[in-house]
Structure 1
Amino acid sequence: MAATINTNVASLTAQRNLGISQGSLNTSIERLSSGLRINSAKDDAAGMAISERFTSQIRGLNQAARNANDGISLAQVAEGAMKAAGDILQRVRELAVQSANASNSISDRQALQQEVNQLVAELDRVAQTTEFNGQKLLDGSFGTSQFQVGANANQTIVAATANLRTNVYGNNQVSGTAAGGTGAQAAIAAASAYGSNGVAAGSLVINGALGSSETIAVATGAHAKDVARDINQQTQLTGVSATARTEAQLAFDTAGSYAITLESDNTPDLKTISFSLTSPTGSEGLSAAVQAINEQSSKTGVIASLNKDASAIVLTNATGNTIAVGHTSSDNAGIVSVTKMVGDGSGGTAVLGTPQTMATNAGAVAVAVSGYITLDSDKSFSAASTTTSVLDGAGTGTLNSDLKKVSELDITDFSKATHSLKTVDSALSYIAGERAKLGALQSRFETSIASLNITSENMSASRSRILDADFAAETANLTRTQILQQAGTAMVAQANQIPQGVLALLK
């Protein structure tokens, strides 16, 4: 090897290696001080791109989890307010039950109605003031909303809150529907036969609240009780339930002695009831007839009461059996008239059709009065009849359910209080269903949060394997480069001394 002084190759080699070790030392110090394996794109271009995508996903997942937690909070606020509304309705129901008791006077019921009015107003206040982060939740304005519960677009949960304004929920009902009308007079032998109750064969179609359409067959002369039973057998499919009731108005044209026959157990065994009227109208004039009929109610199934203006007697069978009214002789003091009654949709009843009259000299005759059916559901529905006298007592066609609103609750008399119970029960069912939906929504949010946290954890681990520094490896590399740095420095010094050897040749 030539001895030169212009080019010190050994020194250049030592300097180059010293620079390499210095770069490695700088890299190790940077990684150990930052904790990251990739501090710039030059460290690992592909790894940096992958880790950035992971970072976007992880931050999106973490924010989605926070969104879901906010959704839980919103659902909890709404559910808490609905619980309060349910408690209020429970109190309203208690008041309706209390008002239905015969021991209450008119003033008592008015006082109970005042409390109901205040409670209904409080229900509206709860609906209008319940909010979360400035958004009204229960007044119908929240509608259907989306909660972003994913790191990417369109990863949402769609949810809605109920409208608790008292004028939008309650009991959907078709009122005053009948299983027939008032049959024409029929001759009877020894008070032992019914006349026709006016029901024609056909069908009743319930287009249910649950999306099912069910057809109910109606036989000629069917009793309301039987039709209601057939409807209730389909309630799980339609969401519509039926109650049957029979009411007839019994009127007299003059005072005197009467003997009528009466029955409602759907058997031809009519009972004879005798009484004397001091007047054909008024509570005092008709009291003897009411008392005589009620004394036999355990046998006939018929209860008597005065109508609102005490001008006639209302005969009631609470189960919907056909009521048969007649007489067996021509000894009655005057004319007896029988008129069918149906529900008027507000908890009361109204007369339907033309009265059937039984004259004093008509002999043994009877009139059969069929019952009426009320269809109920907490959701809207419709009912269509293909037979006369099944819906509204006449004609064919379709009736859509009418919403009996919570805001219209009236418990000022027995019938209205009983009617209000149905509305309150439907309202409670509605609120319970909406609370269940909110509970399910909270559970779904919690499940989403758990899934998001697991995904975020796994992606963080994946990013760590790409991005984070291995301190064991980097510490070993630091030690190695420090030793190489020290050795390189020493070797540069040694290499710089090599040209001094040339001077020995010049001596």
Structure 2
Amino acid sequence: MGMSINTNLSALNTYRNLSSTQNDLSKSLEKLSTGLRINRAADDAAGLSISEGLKSQVGGLTVAARNSQDGISVVQTAEGGLTETHSILQRMRDLAVQAGNDSNNDASRKAISTEVGELQKELGRISSSTNFNGINLLDGSANGGTGKLAFQVGANGDKSSQIVVDLKGADVSAIAKALGSGDTAATGSSFAIDLSKLDGSKAATFVSTDANGTKTSVSTGQLKGADGKDVSTFTSVDDYAAALSRDDAFSAKFTVSVEKDANGAGTGIVVSARDGGKLLDADNATVAAAGIDAGKEGTSVTGGVKFDTAANAQAAIKLIDQQISAVSSARSSLGAVQNRFDHAINVTNVAKENLTAAGSRITDVDMAQEMVKYTRDNILSQAGTSMLAQANQSTQGVLSLLR
């Protein structure tokens, strides 16, 4: 090979290798300083796409866990109000039992009625004051009157990522109205039920008229069982009343209770308008199509408890027992939902941990391995710099020919 000075191939080759080493050294320094294997899309395009998807899931699960905690707080707030409602109802029942004894004179029964009246007012106050973040929980007005609150406990936009809390059964204002007396007595219409004719697949239309003459009309759809499946026949009046309560359209405007005979068997239902309106005979004729006996339809039923006689006190005991049973059922439902929230939080935290680990395996750098590469590249960089200096000196031998 001839001797030339315009083109130093050895220096060019050494410079190219040194530039490559310096580039690798720069990348190693970046990874070691950030702790990340992927700092830009060019580092691993596919890995970046996967890791960003995992990051979205982890972020969503973090918020979902907080949502579940909020759900527990809502349930605990509602259950706290129902706990005190239970205590009040138990006290009212004790007073009703006391009033059932004819050893009480008129003054004694009046004193009992006075205490019960104050307890009823407290029930009304509990229903209007129990709220979470401005949302009333125990007056039936939650979520536009549906009584259902949805909580996002998952990271996705599907139904399985939500838990719905149904507060329809926790309507303390309805309990207060049912136990009202005097001018505040709740009114409703009594409907006899013939289970052999009852058909839950046929619409039953209920109409009420308020004090201003405004009518409210609601037709039930296909009734559902406790498992959410369509149901047409019923084994008891209680089952039918529960199915009516599960109908969103009906429960938004009306409440239903069960009439029982002396043996505690359900014989009919009492339907009351949430706005205090009255149900009239002529307006409710269509309920017969669903198998409800029209013969007793529209019979006015005045709610409330009275203690002026032993017979009225006994009737009050039965009415209070119904409300205690309703509150017990509502508290049981809320307790079950709270346990569900606890499990949802556990599942969310486990999923978050596993997805975080998966993302770490993709994006995090192996510090030991990267340090080995950095050390190698650092040594190569120093050697390359030295060799470049030597290559630049290699052409100086031409000077001896020019002397």
Fold match (TM-score > 0.5): yes
Report if the CA contact (8 A) 1:41-1:48 is conserved. yes
Match of 2:287 in 1: none
The residue identity in structure 2 corresponding to 1:137 is L
Residue 12 (structure 1) aligned with residue 9 (structure 2): no
Distance 2:117 2:238 in 1: 34
Residue 57 (structure 1) aligned with residue 57 (structure 2): yes
Distance 1:414 1:39 in 2: 83
Distance 1:84 1:120 in 2: 12
Report if the CA contact (8 A) 1:174-1:375 is conserved. no
Distance 1:208 1:433 in 2: 25
**Who wins on radius of gyration, i.e. which is larger?**
1
Q: Matches of residues 57-96 of structure 1 in structure 2 within 5 Å?
A: 57-96=57-96
Report if the CA contact (8 A) 2:65-2:349 is conserved. yes
Match of 1:39 in 2: 39
C-alpha change, 1:163 and 1:135, in structure 2 (3 Å) is: same
Report if the CA contact (8 A) 1:172-1:401 is conserved. no
Q: Which secondary structure state, in structure 2, belongs to the residue aligned with residue 469 of structure 1? A: coil
Give the alignment partner of residue 296 of structure 2, picking from 380, 399, 405: 399
Distance 2:298 2:90 in 1: 25
Match of 1:441 in 2: 337
C-alpha distance after superposition, 1:66-92 (max 9, x if no partner): 111100110000001100100010000
Residue 150 (structure 1) aligned with residue 158 (structure 2): no
Runs of 5+ unmatched residues, structure 2? 180-185, 201-224, 226-230, 242-257, 273-292
Q: Which secondary structure state, in structure 2, belongs to the residue aligned with residue 140 of structure 1? A: coil
Distance 1:32 1:204 in 2: 76
The residue identity in structure 1 corresponding to 2:261 is T
Report if the CA contact (8 A) 2:237-2:266 is conserved. no
Report if the CA contact (8 A) 1:173-1:375 is conserved. no
Report if the CA contact (8 A) 1:4-1:499 is conserved. yes
**TM-superposed deviation, 1:505:** 3.0
Report if the CA contact (8 A) 1:174-1:376 is conserved. no
Match of 2:313 in 1: 417
C-alpha distance after superposition, 1:8-39 (max 9, x if no partner): 11111111111111111111110111111111
Distance 1:133 1:204 in 2: 43
Match of 2:278 in 1: none
Q: Which secondary structure state, in structure 2, belongs to the residue aligned with residue 455 of structure 1? A: helix
Distance 1:496 1:38 in 2: 37
Give the alignment partner of residue 172 of structure 2, picking from 151, 164, 173: 164
C-alpha change, 1:448 and 1:377, in structure 2 (3 Å) is: farther
The residue identity in structure 1 corresponding to 2:165 is A
C-alpha change, 1:22 and 1:31, in structure 2 (3 Å) is: same
Report if the CA contact (8 A) 2:58-2:355 is conserved. yes
Report if the CA contact (8 A) 1:68-1:448 is conserved. yes
Distance 1:374 1:151 in 2: 47
Runs of 5+ unmatched residues, structure 1? 178-202, 215-233, 245-318, 320-372, 382-395
C-alpha change, 1:503 and 1:405, in structure 2 (3 Å) is: farther
Q: Which secondary structure state, in structure 2, belongs to the residue aligned with residue 158 of structure 1? A: strand
Match of 1:243 in 2: 261
The residue identity in structure 1 corresponding to 2:365 is A
Report if the CA contact (8 A) 1:31-1:39 is conserved. yes
Q: Matches of residues 421-432 of structure 1 in structure 2 within 5 Å?
A: 421-432=317-328
The residue identity in structure 2 corresponding to 1:54 is L
Compare 397-406 and 159-168 and name the one that shifted more: 397-406
**TM-superposed deviation, 1:484:** 0.7
Report if the CA contact (8 A) 1:78-1:138 is conserved. yes
Report if the CA contact (8 A) 1:173-1:377 is conserved. no
Report if the CA contact (8 A) 1:139-1:164 is conserved. yes
C-alpha distance after superposition, 1:274-332 (max 9, x if no partner): xxxxxxxxxxxxxxxxxxxxxxxxxxxxxxxxxxxxxxxxxxxxx9xxxxxxxxxxxxx
**TM-score, structure 2 length as denominator?**
0.72
C-alpha change, 1:47 and 1:213, in structure 2 (3 Å) is: closer
Count of aligned pairs: 321
The residue identity in structure 2 corresponding to 1:505 is L
Residue 477 (structure 1) aligned with residue 366 (structure 2): no
Report if the CA contact (8 A) 2:5-2:395 is conserved. yes
C-alpha distance after superposition, 1:198-236 (max 9, x if no partner): xxxxx885859987545xxxxxxxxxxxxxxxxxxx688
Aligned-residue identity in percent: 41
Q: CA RMSD in A?
A: 3.2
Report if the CA contact (8 A) 1:92-1:116 is conserved. yes
C-alpha change, 1:496 and 1:169, in structure 2 (3 Å) is: farther
Report if the CA contact (8 A) 1:31-1:469 is conserved. yes
**TM-score, structure 1 length as denominator?**
0.58
The residue identity in structure 2 corresponding to 1:160 is D
C-alpha change, 1:68 and 1:122, in structure 2 (3 Å) is: same
Distance 2:15 2:339 in 1: 67
C-alpha change, 1:135 and 1:204, in structure 2 (3 Å) is: closer
Match of 1:140 in 2: 140
Bigger strand fraction:
1
